[in-house]
Chain A
Amino acid sequence: MDPQTEFRGLYDAHRTAVHAYFLGRVADPGLAADLTQDLFLRAWQHLPDLAGRDPDGQRGWLFTVARNLVIDSGRRAAVRQRAETVLRAEPARTAPAASEPALAADRLAAVGRVVAELPDDQRLVLTMAAAGELTSAQIGAAVGIPAGTVRYRLSRARATVAAAMAADGEPDPRRHSVEDIHDRQAGRTPR
Protein backbone atom coordinates (compact mmCIF):
# COMPACT_ATOMS: atom_id res chain seq x y z
CA MET A 1 0.00 0.00 0.00
CA ASP A 2 1.40 3.39 -0.91
CA PRO A 3 1.96 5.93 1.90
CA GLN A 4 -0.84 8.25 0.78
CA THR A 5 -3.43 5.46 0.80
CA GLU A 6 -2.15 4.23 4.15
CA PHE A 7 -2.37 7.75 5.54
CA ARG A 8 -5.87 8.28 4.13
CA GLY A 9 -7.08 5.29 6.13
CA LEU A 10 -5.45 6.58 9.31
CA TYR A 11 -6.78 10.10 8.75
CA ASP A 12 -10.36 9.03 8.03
CA ALA A 13 -10.41 6.66 11.00
CA HIS A 14 -9.32 9.21 13.59
CA ARG A 15 -9.86 12.76 12.35
CA THR A 16 -13.36 13.23 13.83
CA ALA A 17 -12.31 12.03 17.28
CA VAL A 18 -9.10 14.04 17.27
CA HIS A 19 -10.82 17.21 16.08
CA ALA A 20 -13.48 16.79 18.79
CA TYR A 21 -10.69 16.48 21.35
CA PHE A 22 -9.07 19.71 20.19
CA LEU A 23 -12.42 21.45 20.05
CA GLY A 24 -13.17 20.35 23.59
CA ARG A 25 -9.80 21.56 24.80
CA VAL A 26 -9.57 24.91 23.06
CA ALA A 27 -13.26 25.69 22.33
CA ASP A 28 -12.26 27.43 19.12
CA PRO A 29 -13.25 25.73 15.85
CA GLY A 30 -10.55 27.50 13.83
CA LEU A 31 -7.76 26.66 16.23
CA ALA A 32 -9.07 23.11 16.59
CA ALA A 33 -8.80 22.68 12.81
CA ASP A 34 -5.26 24.10 12.86
CA LEU A 35 -4.21 21.74 15.64
CA THR A 36 -5.81 18.83 13.79
CA GLN A 37 -3.69 19.68 10.76
CA ASP A 38 -0.54 19.99 12.91
CA LEU A 39 -1.22 16.63 14.51
CA PHE A 40 -1.84 14.77 11.29
CA LEU A 41 1.21 16.36 9.70
CA ARG A 42 3.23 14.73 12.47
CA ALA A 43 1.36 11.50 11.90
CA TRP A 44 2.27 11.70 8.20
CA GLN A 45 5.91 12.20 9.13
CA HIS A 46 5.74 9.18 11.48
CA LEU A 47 3.60 7.05 9.21
CA PRO A 48 6.03 4.12 9.02
CA ASP A 49 5.81 3.81 12.81
CA LEU A 50 2.03 4.29 12.96
CA ALA A 51 1.23 1.96 10.09
CA GLY A 52 2.49 -0.98 12.08
CA ARG A 53 0.12 -0.34 14.99
CA ASP A 54 -3.46 -1.50 15.52
CA PRO A 55 -6.24 1.16 15.67
CA ASP A 56 -6.03 1.42 19.48
CA GLY A 57 -2.29 1.88 19.28
CA GLN A 58 -2.69 4.53 16.60
CA ARG A 59 -5.30 6.36 18.68
CA GLY A 60 -3.03 6.22 21.72
CA TRP A 61 -0.16 7.74 19.74
CA LEU A 62 -2.38 10.44 18.26
CA PHE A 63 -3.89 11.53 21.57
CA THR A 64 -0.52 11.57 23.29
CA VAL A 65 0.81 13.92 20.63
CA ALA A 66 -2.48 15.86 20.69
CA ARG A 67 -2.14 16.52 24.43
CA ASN A 68 1.40 17.77 23.91
CA LEU A 69 0.33 19.98 21.03
CA VAL A 70 -2.31 21.70 23.16
CA ILE A 71 0.17 22.20 26.00
CA ASP A 72 2.98 23.30 23.72
CA SER A 73 0.82 25.73 21.87
CA GLY A 74 0.84 27.96 24.93
CA ARG A 75 -2.35 29.46 23.66
CA ARG A 76 -4.80 27.97 26.10
CA ALA A 77 -5.28 31.06 28.24
CA ALA A 78 -5.78 33.32 25.26
CA VAL A 79 -8.00 30.72 23.65
CA ARG A 80 -10.19 30.44 26.71
CA GLN A 81 -10.79 34.17 26.56
CA ARG A 82 -11.58 34.02 22.87
CA ALA A 83 -13.76 30.94 23.18
CA GLU A 84 -16.89 32.67 24.31
CA THR A 85 -16.84 35.27 21.58
CA VAL A 86 -15.96 32.74 18.87
CA LEU A 87 -18.51 30.13 19.82
CA ARG A 88 -21.15 32.74 20.48
CA ALA A 89 -20.73 33.91 16.90
CA GLU A 90 -20.38 30.41 15.45
CA PRO A 91 -23.39 29.65 13.27
CA ALA A 92 -24.60 26.10 12.78
CA ARG A 93 -22.85 24.70 9.73
CA THR A 94 -25.36 21.99 9.01
CA ALA A 95 -28.81 22.88 7.83
CA PRO A 96 -31.27 22.04 10.56
CA ALA A 97 -33.86 19.47 9.56
CA ALA A 98 -36.57 21.07 11.67
CA SER A 99 -39.54 22.68 10.06
CA GLU A 100 -38.57 25.94 11.71
CA PRO A 101 -34.92 26.22 10.69
CA ALA A 102 -34.30 29.63 12.26
CA LEU A 103 -35.53 28.41 15.62
CA ALA A 104 -33.44 25.22 15.35
CA ALA A 105 -30.33 27.24 14.42
CA ASP A 106 -30.91 29.52 17.40
CA ARG A 107 -31.18 26.50 19.64
CA LEU A 108 -27.92 25.03 18.31
CA ALA A 109 -26.19 28.36 18.80
CA ALA A 110 -27.52 28.43 22.35
CA VAL A 111 -26.14 24.93 22.98
CA GLY A 112 -22.78 26.10 21.60
CA ARG A 113 -22.76 29.09 23.94
CA VAL A 114 -23.55 26.96 26.97
CA VAL A 115 -20.95 24.31 26.04
CA ALA A 116 -18.30 27.01 25.57
CA GLU A 117 -18.94 28.23 29.10
CA LEU A 118 -18.71 24.79 30.72
CA PRO A 119 -15.74 24.05 32.97
CA ASP A 120 -12.82 22.68 30.91
CA ASP A 121 -13.12 19.08 32.10
CA GLN A 122 -16.87 18.92 31.38
CA ARG A 123 -16.60 20.68 28.02
CA LEU A 124 -13.90 18.27 26.91
CA VAL A 125 -15.84 15.07 27.59
CA LEU A 126 -19.13 16.46 26.27
CA THR A 127 -17.53 17.64 23.05
CA MET A 128 -15.69 14.35 22.55
CA ALA A 129 -18.94 12.46 23.10
CA ALA A 130 -21.14 14.70 20.95
CA ALA A 131 -18.78 15.77 18.18
CA GLY A 132 -16.39 12.83 18.29
CA GLU A 133 -19.00 10.14 18.94
CA LEU A 134 -16.61 8.43 21.33
CA THR A 135 -17.68 6.12 24.13
CA SER A 136 -16.85 6.88 27.76
CA ALA A 137 -14.16 4.19 27.65
CA GLN A 138 -12.60 5.67 24.51
CA ILE A 139 -12.68 9.18 25.97
CA GLY A 140 -11.16 7.92 29.20
CA ALA A 141 -8.36 6.16 27.32
CA ALA A 142 -7.68 9.26 25.24
CA VAL A 143 -7.72 11.73 28.11
CA GLY A 144 -6.16 9.45 30.70
CA ILE A 145 -9.01 9.20 33.21
CA PRO A 146 -11.28 6.29 34.23
CA ALA A 147 -14.44 5.71 32.20
CA GLY A 148 -16.50 6.19 35.36
CA THR A 149 -15.07 9.67 35.78
CA VAL A 150 -15.94 10.41 32.17
CA ARG A 151 -19.54 9.32 32.79
CA TYR A 152 -19.75 11.49 35.90
CA ARG A 153 -18.41 14.54 34.06
CA LEU A 154 -20.78 13.89 31.16
CA SER A 155 -23.68 13.71 33.56
CA ARG A 156 -22.66 16.99 35.21
CA ALA A 157 -22.16 18.65 31.83
CA ARG A 158 -25.58 17.54 30.58
CA ALA A 159 -27.22 18.73 33.80
CA THR A 160 -25.56 22.11 33.42
CA VAL A 161 -26.55 22.40 29.78
CA ALA A 162 -30.10 21.36 30.62
CA ALA A 163 -30.35 23.94 33.38
CA ALA A 164 -28.91 26.67 31.21
CA MET A 165 -31.18 25.80 28.30
CA ALA A 166 -34.21 25.71 30.59
CA ALA A 167 -33.28 29.17 31.83
CA ASP A 168 -32.97 30.39 28.25
CA GLY A 169 -35.61 33.02 27.63
CA GLU A 170 -35.78 34.19 31.21
CA PRO A 171 -35.73 37.97 31.46
CA ASP A 172 -32.81 38.03 33.91
CA PRO A 173 -29.59 37.51 31.89
CA ARG A 174 -27.85 36.20 35.03
CA ARG A 175 -29.99 33.07 34.72
CA HIS A 176 -28.05 32.22 31.54
CA SER A 177 -24.70 32.07 33.29
CA VAL A 178 -23.21 28.59 33.66
CA GLU A 179 -21.21 29.92 36.59
CA ASP A 180 -24.44 30.79 38.38
CA ILE A 181 -25.74 27.28 37.74
CA HIS A 182 -22.55 25.84 39.21
CA ASP A 183 -22.93 28.12 42.19
CA ARG A 184 -26.46 26.85 42.72
CA GLN A 185 -25.32 23.23 42.29
CA ALA A 186 -22.61 23.84 44.88
CA GLY A 187 -25.09 25.48 47.26
CA ARG A 188 -23.51 28.93 46.88
CA THR A 189 -25.31 32.20 46.29
CA PRO A 190 -25.16 33.06 42.58
CA ARG A 191 -22.84 35.92 41.76
Chain B
Amino acid sequence: MNEQDVPSSRSSRDSAADALSADVAEWGRSVRLTETVADHIFAAIVSAPAPVWPTGPDLEPEPDTPLGPAWWRRHSAELAETIIRSTRWAPAA
Protein backbone atom coordinates (compact mmCIF):
# COMPACT_ATOMS: atom_id res chain seq x y z
CA MET B 1 0.00 0.00 0.00
CA ASN B 2 1.26 3.43 -0.84
CA GLU B 3 1.92 5.29 2.41
CA GLN B 4 0.43 8.41 0.92
CA ASP B 5 -2.86 6.58 0.59
CA VAL B 6 -3.18 5.98 4.32
CA PRO B 7 -4.25 9.47 5.46
CA SER B 8 -6.62 9.71 2.53
CA SER B 9 -8.11 6.31 3.32
CA ARG B 10 -8.43 7.14 6.99
CA SER B 11 -10.02 10.47 6.15
CA SER B 12 -12.45 8.69 3.86
CA ARG B 13 -13.36 6.22 6.59
CA ASP B 14 -13.81 9.04 9.10
CA SER B 15 -16.04 10.91 6.70
CA ALA B 16 -18.16 7.81 6.14
CA ALA B 17 -18.42 7.25 9.91
CA ASP B 18 -19.40 10.89 10.46
CA ALA B 19 -22.02 10.67 7.73
CA LEU B 20 -23.43 7.48 9.25
CA SER B 21 -23.52 9.02 12.73
CA ALA B 22 -25.34 12.02 11.31
CA ASP B 23 -27.83 9.77 9.53
CA VAL B 24 -28.49 7.70 12.65
CA ALA B 25 -28.87 10.83 14.78
CA GLU B 26 -31.26 12.34 12.21
CA TRP B 27 -33.24 9.09 12.13
CA GLY B 28 -33.38 9.17 15.95
CA ARG B 29 -34.84 12.68 15.86
CA SER B 30 -37.34 11.69 13.19
CA VAL B 31 -38.85 8.84 15.24
CA ARG B 32 -39.20 10.78 18.49
CA LEU B 33 -42.61 11.66 19.81
CA THR B 34 -43.69 14.89 18.19
CA GLU B 35 -44.77 17.72 20.49
CA THR B 36 -48.33 17.30 19.23
CA VAL B 37 -48.47 13.60 20.12
CA ALA B 38 -46.71 14.22 23.44
CA ASP B 39 -49.22 16.95 24.34
CA HIS B 40 -52.10 14.69 23.32
CA ILE B 41 -50.81 11.91 25.58
CA PHE B 42 -50.31 14.35 28.45
CA ALA B 43 -53.84 15.72 28.09
CA ALA B 44 -55.32 12.21 27.99
CA ILE B 45 -53.48 11.21 31.16
CA VAL B 46 -54.28 14.24 33.29
CA SER B 47 -57.94 13.98 32.32
CA ALA B 48 -58.00 11.01 34.72
CA PRO B 49 -58.75 11.89 38.35
CA ALA B 50 -55.83 13.51 40.14
CA PRO B 51 -53.90 11.16 42.41
CA VAL B 52 -54.62 11.40 46.12
CA TRP B 53 -51.63 12.42 48.20
CA PRO B 54 -51.58 9.98 51.13
CA THR B 55 -50.58 11.10 54.59
CA GLY B 56 -47.98 8.33 54.66
CA PRO B 57 -47.86 5.29 56.91
CA ASP B 58 -45.07 6.71 59.07
CA LEU B 59 -46.89 9.89 59.93
CA GLU B 60 -48.56 10.24 63.30
CA PRO B 61 -52.24 9.45 62.91
CA GLU B 62 -54.67 12.27 63.30
CA PRO B 63 -55.95 12.31 66.93
CA ASP B 64 -59.61 11.87 67.62
CA THR B 65 -59.75 15.22 69.30
CA PRO B 66 -58.00 18.19 67.71
CA LEU B 67 -54.72 19.26 69.24
CA GLY B 68 -55.40 22.75 70.50
CA PRO B 69 -53.05 25.47 71.81
CA ALA B 70 -53.25 24.10 75.33
CA TRP B 71 -52.02 20.69 74.24
CA TRP B 72 -49.11 22.22 72.30
CA ARG B 73 -48.09 24.38 75.31
CA ARG B 74 -48.08 21.38 77.61
CA HIS B 75 -46.32 19.19 75.04
CA SER B 76 -43.63 21.85 74.41
CA ALA B 77 -43.04 22.33 78.13
CA GLU B 78 -42.69 18.59 78.71
CA LEU B 79 -40.34 18.24 75.74
CA ALA B 80 -38.17 21.16 76.90
CA GLU B 81 -37.97 19.70 80.37
CA THR B 82 -36.95 16.30 78.97
CA ILE B 83 -34.19 17.86 76.88
CA ILE B 84 -32.84 19.96 79.75
CA ARG B 85 -32.90 17.00 82.10
CA SER B 86 -31.02 14.80 79.61
CA THR B 87 -28.22 17.34 79.16
CA ARG B 88 -27.86 18.40 82.82
CA TRP B 89 -24.54 17.56 84.35
CA ALA B 90 -24.74 15.14 87.20
CA PRO B 91 -21.82 14.41 89.57
CA ALA B 92 -20.55 10.89 89.52
CA ALA B 93 -21.67 8.88 92.51
Contact = CB atoms under 8 A, between A and B. Distances in A.
A and B are interacting partners: yes
Interface of A: 3-4, 7-8, 11, 15-16, 19-20, 23, 29, 33, 36-37, 40-41, 44-48, 90, 92-94, 96, 104, 107-108, 111-112, 115, 126-127, 129-133, 158, 161-162, 165-166
Contacts of B29: 94, 131
Contact of B30 (A36, A40, A45, A94): A94
A16 B33 contact: yes
B42 interface: yes
Interface in B1-19: 16-17
Contacts of A92: 27, 30
Contacts of B37: 33
B45 A16 contact: no
Interface of B: 16-17, 20-21, 23-34, 37-38, 41-42, 44-46, 48, 50-54
Contacts of A8: 42
A40 B32 contact: no
A3 B54 CA distance: 13
Contacts of B30: 92-94, 108, 112
B26 A19 contact: no
Q: Which residue among B21, B27, B45, B54 has the maximum number of chain A CB atoms within 10 Å of its CB?
A: B27
A45 B51 contact: yes
A111 B32 contact: no
Contact of B46 (A7, A93, A111, A126): A7
